[in-house]
Amino acid sequence: MPDEVLLTVRRLRTWFELRRWGFVRVGFVRAVDGVDFELHRGEAVAVVGESGSGKSTLAKTILGLHRPRQGEIIFEGREVGGEKDLRRYRSRVGYVQQDPYGALPPFMNVQRILEEPLAINGEANPGARMQRIREVLDEVRLSPVEDFLPRFPHMLSGGQQQRLVVARAMILRPQLIVADEPVSMLDASVRIEILQLLRGLQARYNLSIIYITHDLSTVRYFCERVFVMYGGMIIEQASTDDLLRNPQHPYTQALLAAIPDPDPENASRVRVVPPGEPPSLLSPPSGCRFHPRCPAFMKGICEVQIPPDFEPAPGHRVACWLYDERGQGGPPAPSRA
């Protein structure tokens, strides 16, 4: 069922307390500051942003590694709240991390690494465990399986390590995989291997995937929808095609304009880059977080209030005052802040 909603995230905020000298609270780092979206079964969604946009924190909050300060995460119809829910939830969500070597305990061999999630989640029968381990290693094409079982992470190549991480993420038969920059530490020629692997798994098991990345070029090969994050908020949501063809938010436009393709003409062009730096999550700018750098800045509105989501085209949402159909200066629609 392509339209069944697997995961709903509403008004999610993850703030980190900043303390000085251990107990004087100085303020909050607002890593995720009001995120809403829906994820369908079998859908691959990219969360794109630069460092400091909060995308990693969003991923970890969805995984249950951070406690949100506010907001709801509703998975398979049930809200994920207390400890008990969290345990069950965690076994339905797989995590693929950025650093393949760091994600694997160096003192455990392949078999042990894959056994751990099974043992922790109650699979006591060693025979059943081994069977599942073999299945999953086959799935990620680390075969012959017997060869790989006794190996330690440092005996595997980067690509193989990442396959193992994917295997570990898949071993509990999750419904959702959160992949945080899964290929950015791999060589160019190995990246596609892993992306194709994930794509294949998605198709075969009707998996939903949240793919966190800063590299928009890979998104096209992999995801149906894209969320663009800036300053802890999602500022644009659209289908991949739509976003790449008609980016609406000025930040998205700048982002796309800054990405080079391998083209010799690049050497003679100068790219337009928005001035300034990504906003501080501790003391973010008032109103729209992008306004200090925005070429389309409208004084009197942009720095005053955080824009809500507008929908200039079906399925394409932008959090930008430029798309306020009622014209500038009118009373704002119910904001989501």
- The two three-digit tokens of residue 54, written as one number: 């909060």
Asked whether position 264 contacts other proteins by CB under 8 A, the answer is: yes
Least distance in Å: CB of 228 to other proteins? 12
The Cα 127–Cα 90 span in angstroms is 24
Measured CA distances, 171 to 81, 101, 123, 131, 220 (Å):
24, 19, 11, 11, 27
Least distance in Å: CB of 80 to other proteins? 13
Asked whether position 232 contacts other proteins by CB under 8 A, the answer is: no
| 28: three-class secondary structure by DSSP | strand
DSSP 8-state assignment for residue 190: H
- The two three-digit tokens of residue 63, written as one number: 């995984």
The Cα 316–Cα 226 span in angstroms is 10
Q: Applying CB under 8 A, which of residues 70, 125, 131, 217 lies at the interface with other proteins?
A: 217
Of 116-145, binders to other proteins (CB under 8 A) are: 116-117, 120-121
Residue in this structure with the two tokens 């929808």, named with its chain if needed: 225
The dihedral of CA 327, 328, 332, 336: what is its sign?
positive
Q: Are 66 and 35 in contact (CB under 8 A)?
A: no
Q: How many residues does the chain have?
A: 337
Asked whether position 259 contacts other proteins by CB under 8 A, the answer is: yes
Asked whether position 105 contacts other proteins by CB under 8 A, the answer is: yes
Rounded (10°) angle between helices 110-120 and 126-139? 120
**Segment contacting other proteins by CB under 8 A, of 6-14, 25-33, 217-225, 315-323:** 217-225
Least distance in Å: CB of 335 to other proteins? 27
Asked whether position 332 contacts other proteins by CB under 8 A, the answer is: no
**Segment contacting other proteins by CB under 8 A, of 123-131, 132-140, 260-268, 301-309:** 260-268
Q: Are 57 and 18 in contact (CB under 8 A)?
A: no
Helix (H) or strand (E) holding 263: none
Task: Identify residue 247 by its one-letter amino acid code.
Answer: P
The Cα 1–Cα 274 span in angstroms is 42
Q: Applying CB under 8 A, which of residues 128, 273, 282, 296 lies at the interface with other proteins?
A: 273
Asked whether position 83 contacts other proteins by CB under 8 A, the answer is: no
Least distance in Å: CB of 31 to other proteins? 15
Least distance in Å: CB of 173 to other proteins? 12
- Residue with Cβ nearer other proteins (120 or 313): 120
Asked whether position 258 contacts other proteins by CB under 8 A, the answer is: yes
**Of 48, 72, 52, which Cα lies nearest the Cα of 240?**
48
Least distance in Å: CB of 267 to other proteins? 6
Of 309-328, binders to other proteins (CB under 8 A) are: none
Asked whether position 214 contacts other proteins by CB under 8 A, the answer is: yes
Task: Identify residue 249 by its one-letter amino acid code.
Answer: H
Asked whether position 221 contacts other proteins by CB under 8 A, the answer is: yes
**Of 303, 290, 219, 304, which Cα lies nearest the Cα of 47?**
219
Q: Which residues pair with residue 234 across a beta bridge?
A: 229
The Cα 239–Cα 220 span in angstroms is 10
Asked whether position 196 contacts other proteins by CB under 8 A, the answer is: yes
Least distance in Å: CB of 84 to other proteins? 12
Asked whether position 329 contacts other proteins by CB under 8 A, the answer is: no
Least distance in Å: CB of 278 to other proteins? 8
**Segment contacting other proteins by CB under 8 A, of 128-136, 272-280, 295-303, 313-321:** 272-280
Give the residues lining the site for other proteins (CB under 8 A): 50-51, 60, 63-65, 87, 90-91, 93-95, 97-99, 102-107, 116-117, 120-121, 157-158, 165, 168, 172, 187-193, 196, 214-218, 220-221, 244, 254-256, 258-264, 266-267, 270-271, 273-274, 277-278
